[in-house]
A = this chain, B = another copy of it.
Amino acid sequence: MELHEPELREVPVTAVLAALADDVRLQIVRALAPGGEHACGSFEFGVSKATRSHHLKVLREAGLTRTRIAGTTRYVRLRRDELDRLYPGLLDAGLTAPARPQ
């Protein structure tokens, strides 16, 4: 299985921003933010697993996450260091903002 994990600097900024501009994906990023690996199946955000798989693909191809395959499960982690180096503050903007206004 080939996983497409682009270099962050090769991803257009608009693609990174677009990847973060979705509620479900932002929830995934929030869950990933404290660090460590999470199994894909551990994300329970009220969408089907097809949809979840789609969102994880968007995040990965935008250079936001990295995925490790172990047997049948896949572990995802945030590329925080790279993100913070290339776009300092961007991640924090999405993380610290209230999920919903007010």
Contacts and interface: CB of A to CB of B under 8 A. Distances in A.
Contacts of A14: 20-23, 26
A16 B11 CA distance: 20
| Contact-residue size bin, chain A (C-beta under 8 Å from the other chain) | 20 to 34
Contacts of A92: 88-89
A72 to B, nearest CB: 32
A11 to B, nearest CB: 7
How many of these chains are in the complex?
2
A34 interface: no
A87 interface: yes
A90 B87 CA distance: 8
B100 A93 contact: no
A12 B94 contact: no
B26 A94 contact: no
B89 A10 contact: no
5 contacts: A12-B101, A17-B21, A18-B18, A89-B93, A90-B90
